[in-house]
Structure 1
Amino acid sequence: MAKVKTLVITGYGTNCEKESAFAATQAGSDQTDIAYFSDLVAETYSLTDYNFIIFPGGFLDGDELGAAQAAALRWRYMKTVSGISLEDELKNFLASQGIILGICNGFQLLVKLGLLPAAGGRYFERQVSLSHNDSARFEDRWVHLVCNPDSPCVFTKGLDQLYLPVRHGEGKLIAKSEQVLTELQQANLIALQYIDPQTGQPTQKYPENPNGSPLGIAGLTDPSGRILGLMPHPEAYNHPTNHPAWTRGKTTMLGTALMERGIQYLRRL
């Protein structure tokens, strides 16, 4: 019987589902399935049959109304054919100790649903959002990241630094208030930060920080550490040849390391 069962959710403009599924399988997932949002409504797939859910990147609804805004409303108000709220399905999944990874557009969805950062344990309350990059352009580049060693995040345990690609137009984190930013720092919910590779320190300097997020925030976790959302694309670095300098032997930690940590966590349960 499969120990780690991963569900990658696609539809409405998502376009990174196949590489996300491949990366999860490569990282050790015993069973990996791809389901359309409509499959969840039709109950062809159920979230509670899995213990790892990935919300991959893409352009949900063409980013109309703001990145992932329409998708968040679907999750909040739509029901399955049996009349079960999809939001309740997510709540049941989290109650079963499942883990969630949201990448780029998936991260945007998680913050608009209020699953991240859930500071103070306030889940399904929107505390932050992600807005247009300070550069006012779509950023497609590689970035250096540092992992917070004090974060409860199960995906980043034992990791130090990562080098991953970004490709987004709306990646700047906007907090509801300064108090929320303070809570993120005090509770170590900032799991990943953009850094200057020369100093190793978090930065807001462009292009090392591609969007202008305060505190160099590139990824957030929740108080349980079982949810991670990040703007960079770990699934896009699933083989050494994905690295822009692979022919010169300058590869670093693979992005699938994040998924490996999550899968290792599930195996210990």
Structure 2
Amino acid sequence: ELAGASAQKLHINELIANPALIGDFELIGFPGGFSYGDDIAAGRILANRLRHKLMDQLLAAADRGVPMIGICNGFQVMVKLGLLPDPHAGTQTATLADNESGRFTTKWVNMTVPAETCCVWTKGLTELDLPIAHAEGRFVPQSDEALARWNDNGQIAIKYAADNNPNGSTADIAGVCDPSGLILGLMPHPERWIHITNHPHWQRKGEAFKSQTPAGLKMFQNVVEHVTASTPATA
């Protein structure tokens, strides 16, 4: 809402009971958390429910240009659902595996945005700090060919900075988008840096830092601006 949108929280059961609701949304978010206790694998059970109950509606939303975001567990869900990185592949083409450390990791991490990315969410960002909090965040592509295709398409949206990969993700990948740049999934938490005071070192930074728009808020502002610009004006 700080970015200029109105937010509505809906339980998955509400959407399954009335799938047509998805057609009313101009933005869709899959939040972080531990859906179904991360039993079997992180995000797997929720992904299976979505695949069998709501996949047609989600693909239709993607086709009409509805931006989507999956954060942490939401990213795990989107990847295991097959909504990212290739929404129309009809199968899962990547996964998020256990951290190489074998441990749950929570800390702030420095990241970069590739200059060639097509991602709408990260427009105007080149470097950012965001917090992570996960045990299964290691991005692994199905194949080297798939990774090369995503690179060529500009689908690598966010990377962990050099020598700062917290989980062993292939090619330091922290987030990916679909070919349109509108559907983003990432392990870091942009929603946890929407006020300057969210940053752990904000008091040590200079005035220039304190006057900037936090990177997390900037990401949401980017996509709200995109939706606003894409929505026809009413008489």
TM-score of the pair, normalised by structure 1: 0.80
Q: How does 1:226-265 map to 2 (within 5 A)?
A: 226-249=182-205, 251=209, 253-265=214-226
Structure 2 residue identity aligned to 1:220: V
What is the match of residue 26 of structure 2?
51
- Measure the CA separation in 1 of the matches of 2:216 and 2:138: 21
1:26 pairs with 2:2: yes
8 A contact 2:15–2:21 mirrored in 1: yes
Segments of 5+ residues of structure 2 without an aligned counterpart are 231-235
- Could you say which residue in structure 2 is the equivalent of 1:97? 65
Q: Residues of 1 paired with 2:196 and 2:219: CA distance? A: 16
For residues 162-182 of structure 1, what are the alpha-carbon distances to aligned partners after superposition, in whole Å with 9 as ceiling and x for unaligned? 110000000001111111121
SS in 2 for 1:90: helix
State how 1:33-48 maps to structure 2 within 5 Å. Answer: 33-43=8-18, 46-48=21-23
Root mean square deviation of aligned Cα: 1.6
Is 1:153 the equivalent of 2:110?
no
The whole-number CA distance in structure 1 between the counterparts of 2:19 and 2:165 is: 41
Q: Deviations over 1:39-92 (max 9, x none)?
A: 1122297111011001010001111111101111100113xxxxxxx1111122
Alignment partner of 1:47: what SS?
A: helix
Any idea what SS the aligned residue of 2:139 has? strand
TM-score, length-scaled by structure 2: 0.91
- Of residues 169, 182, 205, the one that matches 1:213 is 169
Does residue 1:74 correspond to 2:30, yes or no? no
**Is 1:115 aligned to 2:83, yes or no?**
yes
Structure 1 letter corresponding to 2:215: L
The CA distance in 2 between the partners of 1:92 and 1:186, in whole Å, is: 25
1:149–1:157: 8 Å Cα contact kept in structure 2? no
State the identity as a percent: 39
**Which residue does 2:144 correspond to in 1?**
178
- Classify the secondary structure of the residue corresponding to 1:246: coil
- Contact 1:52 1:98 (C-alpha < 8 Å) held by counterparts: yes
Residue 233 of structure 2 is matched in structure 1 by: none
d(CA) in 1 for partners of 2:51, 2:83: 12
Q: Which has the higher strand share?
A: 1
Query: In structure 1, what residue type is equivalent to 2:223?
Result: G
